[in-house]
């Protein structure tokens, strides 16, 4: 199968790139079957259902690729989680007919946070994200199912994720899709409208939104990121119609979080250091 083609035509240089939703869905379904069944002899997937569009799209792709009976959606609320996150996640499991469970993580997270009462929202959010990943990996061992990642390309490039948490699952079908492309794919797949329309949020505190944290909308960030990856400088982007302040926000986050997109750095003491030298032929 050919790679899905990102549509190069844009009416405006400052627009985010689009996709062919049908071709992208077909490709990602084939990707999941190849990575899980052919590559690992695993026929089941476990997905953390947050009530957001990213995890919903991932669940839809897994259900189409593996069959809904082989997909396990896990809701992992914390005591401060919005009730709508739970109800929106249920919309996904009910629409798809996948297996669903709810595991409340408050006691687990607070078992540590009780010793850090002054932890700010960022630290608390990181703890919750890592506890949720602990749950997913243990559920994978219980169910014989592979954890499937739900982080989109925009979040990954902006470093808007918890290291060794959101990025931990060994397979991620949407990691090369900008957020705006995830929304488009969600519409094609039939994700419930409330999940598509809601403001993206990590659900760490009341009225918190991703775009508020980032200081820029996803649509604008996607447009800037896509052009930066094509090699344009800040000055070139501004000359072509982008707002300088928004370009600088994106560039700073992209450059300052580069380390989060790499495996831990190994001190090399030999010519067989894992990942630095020791690679199988299929790893090249």
CATH of the domain at 249: 3.40.50.620
Spans of the chain, pLDDT less than 70? 1-11, 204-207, 275-284
Is 283 a domain residue? Answer: no
The residues with which 221 forms a beta bridge, in sequence order, are: none
Q: Is residue 129 part of a domain?
A: yes
Decide: residue 26, CB within 10 A, 0-12 exposed, 13-18 middle, 19+ buried. Answer: middle
CA distances from 260 to 45, 148, 163, 170 (A): 25, 19, 6, 16
pLDDT value at residue 182: 98
Q: What is the DSSP letter of 135?
A: H
Q: Is residue 243 part of a domain?
A: yes
Around Cβ 194, how many Cβ atoms within 10 Å?
A: 13
- Give how many domains the chain has, as a whole number: 1
**What is the extent of the structural domain holding 20?**
10-264
| Strand-pair partners of 74 | 48, 101
User: For residue 239, how many other CB atoms are within 10 A of its CB?
Assistant: 10
Indicate whether 278 belongs to any domain. Answer: no
Structure tokens at 61: 């792709």
CB 21 within 8 A of CB 57: no
Partners of 146 in beta bridges: 45
Report phi then psi at 197, rounded to 5: -85, -25
Question: How crowded is the C-beta side of 100, counted as CA atoms within 13 Å?
Answer: 21
Tell me the C-alpha distance between 263 and 182, whole Å: 25
**pLDDT attached to residue 201:** 83
Give domain status of residue 162, yes or no.
yes
Q: What burial class does residue 89 get, using C-beta atoms within 10 Å of its C-beta: 0-12 exposed, 13-18 middle, 19+ buried?
A: buried
**Which helix (H) or strand (E) covers residue 197, if one does?**
helix 193-197
Q: Find the helix packing angle between 244-256 and 218-229, rounded to 10°.
A: 70
Q: Are strands 6-7 and 18-19 parallel, antiparallel or unpaired?
A: antiparallel
86's CB contacts (< 8 A; 6+ apart) are 51, 75, 77, 102
Query: How far is the C-alpha of 204 from the C-alpha of 184, rounded, in Å?
Result: 26
Q: Does residue 87 belong to any structural domain of this protein?
A: yes
pLDDT of residue 222: 97
150: three-class secondary structure by DSSP? coil
Does residue 275 sit within a domain? no
For residues 44 and 66, the answer to whether their CB atoms sit within 8 Å is yes
pLDDT at 202: 76
For residue 274, being part of any structural domain is answered with no
């Amino acid at each position: 199968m050919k790679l899905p083609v990102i549509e190069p035509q844009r009416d405006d240089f400052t627009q985010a790139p689009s996709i062919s939703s049908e071709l992208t869905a077909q490709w990602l379904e084939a990707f999941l079957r190849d990575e899980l069944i052919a590559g690992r002899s695993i026929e089941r997937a476990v997905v953390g259902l947050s009530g957001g569009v990213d995890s919903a799209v991932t669940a839809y792709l897994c259900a189409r690729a593996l069959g809904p009976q082989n997909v396990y959606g896990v809701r992992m609320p914390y005591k401060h989680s919005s009730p709508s996150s739970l109800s929106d996640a249920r919309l996904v499991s009910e629409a798809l007919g996948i297996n669903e469970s709810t595991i409340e993580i408050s006691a687990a997270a607070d078992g540590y946070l009780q010793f850090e009462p002054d932890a700010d929202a960022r630290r608390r959010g990181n703890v919750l994200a890592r506890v949720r990943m602990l749950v997913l990996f243990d559920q994978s061992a219980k169910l014989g199912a592979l954890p499937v990642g739900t982080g989109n390309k925009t979040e990954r490039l902006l470093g808007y994720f918890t290291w060794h948490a959101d990025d931990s699952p060994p397979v991620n079908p949407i990691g090369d899709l900008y957020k705006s492309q995830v929304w488009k794919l969600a519409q094609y797949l039939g994700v419930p409208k409330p999940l598509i329309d809601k403001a993206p949020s990590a659900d760490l505190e009341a009225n918190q939104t991703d775009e508020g944290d980032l200081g820029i909308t996803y649509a604008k960030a996607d447009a800037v990121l896509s052009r930066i990856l094509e090699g344009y400088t800040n000055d070139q982007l501004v000359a072509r119609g982008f707002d300088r302040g928004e370009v600088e926000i994106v560039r700073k986050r992209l450059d300052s979080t580069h380390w989060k997109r790499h495996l831990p750095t190994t001190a090399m003491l030999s010519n067989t250091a894992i990942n630095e030298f020791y690679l199988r032929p299929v790893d090249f």
